[in-house]
Structure 1
Amino acid sequence: MAQPIKLAIISTMGGSPWGGSEELWAATAKHAIASGTTVVLSVYRWPAVPPRIAELQSLGAELLQRMNPNQLSPVKRALNRIIAHIASPFDRLFRRNPDVICISEGKIYESLTLRGLVPRIFTAAIPYIVVCHGNNEVRIPHEQLRKSAIRFFRSAHRVIFVSQRNIAIAERQLATALSNAQVLQNPLNLSDTSLVPWPAAQEFCMALVGRLEAGIKGHDVLFEILGSPAWKNRQWLVRVVGDGPDRAYLESLAHYYGIAGRVAFTGYVGDVRSIWASSHLMVMPSRSEALPIALVEAMACGRPAVATDVGGIS
């Protein structure tokens, strides 16, 4: 009897425990397990295992957690870099002898910053797939990174992007064609895709859904606009839905612009339809995006959206 294929999935996202960029690999893992594939997950360690990963564990996936440098002090981060030269955080994964590796990059080129990963893949000659999500349109990679990325992407079996626009951005940044690039859209996590009834509340409510990482998601841009005289004199509320490293900063920024009483930070909300049951408009002032699941979900629920013309939104 043939041995089951062993699939290793590596997530590079270290800014928050979970986000839209994780949904595609999680759906892939669930489908693979159901088809009899052995799945090994390599993710950053968090105080609590995210529910979607816990679900995959319950289905039979093996979880290998890596130290998250974003949660370390500067001294411990330096020590961690030294240790990584001696023992790679991916040693345990390669001892499992995976047949295929899938690397999910929350931000493009992150794989190349993970010590001990890419050289080990090349040495082991294991087929791999790279899934690229976020990319900054104004970024120009330095020459060493550009050359490394070209080799890394060209050597992959497939390079998956979630929008055609993001393929074009990557090819422009690298000044090279990626003939093995392919578009695969993020899954829509709505079991009920019927329109959500329009909110009965008279006060106009906007919702900004996404991880609290202002440099990417642009919360600061929205707050600056809403803090201007033209908007302060209007009736509105904003629900900021999601978690992330910039919550304290954004709460302070709302106070700075004098709009704190009209901005509600809800944290993560699992029931997408409940967001739109009480919100009239999706706002997405992102500086960069792949193809945001939150935007597609809002439109599927029947809500209009105002979004910046970046990435897969274009």
Structure 2
Amino acid sequence: MKIAFISTVFSNPWAGSEELWYQTSLRCLERGHQVIASLFQMPCSCPQIENFQSHGGRVHWRKRFKNGRLHVLKHSYVSAFRQLFKSKPDVVILSLGSMMDLTLQPDLLRELQQSPAKVILLFLFNADCLVPDDNARAIIGSYCQRANHLIFVSKHNCLLAERQLALKFNKVSVFSGSISYTDKYEKLPWRANDTLEMACVARFAMQEKGQDILIESLAQPQWKSRNWRLNLFGLGREEYLRQLINHFKLTERVRFRGYVTDTRDIWRENQIMVLASRAEGLSLAVLEAMICGRVCVVTDVGGHGEVITDSQSGFLAEAPQPKYFGRALERAWSMKEKLPEIGQNAHEAAFKKFSETPDKKLLYLIEQI
């Protein structure tokens, strides 16, 4: 069988959301399938892509773009996917950073409408603030009607998409993405420390990940006398964050720790994951922290409320605002003595989520569709 994975994720170095198609592609290659991946060009080498190629996978690179309107205009006439579809794939899987990505790919829709291939749409993210206009709804709806199966990483995202598009999905599955370490889902020993070590593991994209909300929440008067430290892991708009931290006089409390490939190294040193996201699919960084037995304080967006029970396996803020995130932090602080127990509950909840690995589920769909 010829299988094509098309990713619209625009990230550097490697986005965690890419793990699902990547790990599934390796399983496909192990089973003797031919696999092609269509990806945006990367400015540096990527171990995952090198591994994919070393196992026999082929890559078709697409040029990155800055101006969406010019990109759409150009690809209304010229297809960036022509070479891929010339190989006549039997199954095409679209791994989508957002459903709005589909509005930037007129050439892809044209190729799919002319191809007999089975199509799976994998939606990795959605947000309440995404309100497609009539033209965008028509384009996305055309993709959904062409698809043989839809996959969402959370029930929330699926129901939200039905509302946004005014469509009822029929052939749909809901399961999370794959985390980066699949060999062991073991809980790490709890790190006892007089200082509460908190980590935010996310790219520095405030419009989605909400680091600004987190920092303002920790700048409230009650936190001045408490023994805590915040470690920021990720890359992105660092200069703005540094200015914001200085603005709230938290430079002695907050450290920038860079990008870490294996997040288990983070959770050997930190006790709490803090993530004030404005929107999510289902954060893989949160699931990784839970697998490691760490307590997560997060906003109730995307699928967070589907894996975390407040004050039992983590803490949920009702909305991405400092007032509400601050309340969730207060509950966590007031239950400091119970954090190891809550971390154990978090591990069990995440372990249940991965009892059947997502890449196996996707492989099954590909072979059965």
With normalisation by structure 2, the TM-score equals: 0.77
Tell me whether 285-294 or 246-255 shows the greater mean CA deviation.
Answer: 246-255
Q: What is the distance in 2 between the residues matched to 1:260 and 1:239? A: 11
Q: What is the distance in 1 between the residues matched to 2:29 and 2:188? A: 33
2:45 equivalent among 37, 49, 54? 49
Match of 2:253 in 1: 262
Match of 1:20 in 2: 16
1:212 equivalent among 182, 204, 226? 204
Post-superposition offset of 1:47: 1.3
| Structure 2 runs not aligned, ≥5 long | 306-369
Post-superposition offset of 1:153: 0.8
Provide the aligned length of Structure 1 versus Structure 2.
304
1:87 aligns with 2:83: no
Q: What secondary structure does 2:124 align onto?
A: strand
2:153 equivalent among 145, 162, 186? 162
Tell me whether 141-150 or 108-117 shows the greater mean CA deviation.
Answer: 108-117
Match of 2:137 in 1: 146
Letter in 2 for 1:247: E
1:65 aligns with 2:56: no
With normalisation by structure 1, the TM-score equals: 0.90
Contact 2:273–2:297 at 8 Å: present in 1 too? yes
1:8 aligns with 2:18: no
Q: What is the distance in 1 between the residues matched to 2:174 and 2:159? A: 11
Match of 1:235 in 2: 227
Match of 1:134 in 2: 125
Match of 2:298 in 1: 307
Q: What secondary structure does 1:109 align onto?
A: helix
Post-superposition offset of 1:86: 4.6
Deviations 1:143-192 (A, max 9, x none): 11112222211220111111222111111111221012111322242423
Q: What is the distance in 2 between the residues matched to 1:86 and 1:219? A: 40
What is the percentage of aligned positions where both structures have the same residue? 34
Q: What is the distance in 2 between the residues matched to 1:300 and 1:276? A: 10
Q: What is the distance in 2 between the residues matched to 1:38 and 1:190? A: 23
Post-superposition offset of 1:278: 0.8
Letter in 2 for 1:279: N
Match of 1:112 in 2: 103
Q: What secondary structure does 2:130 align onto?
A: coil
1:36 aligns with 2:36: no
Deviations 1:8-63 (A, max 9, x none): 11110114332221111111111111111111111111211322122101111111
Dislocated runs of 4+, deviation >4 Å? 77-83
Letter in 1 for 2:28: A
Contact 1:154–1:178 at 8 Å: present in 2 too? no
1:249 aligns with 2:240: yes
Post-superposition offset of 1:218: 0.8
Post-superposition offset of 1:82: 5.7
Q: What is the distance in 2 between the residues matched to 1:65 and 1:258? A: 45
| Structure 1 runs not aligned, ≥5 long | none
Post-superposition offset of 1:81: 5.8
Post-superposition offset of 1:291: 1.5
Match of 2:90 in 1: 99
Letter in 1 for 2:212: D
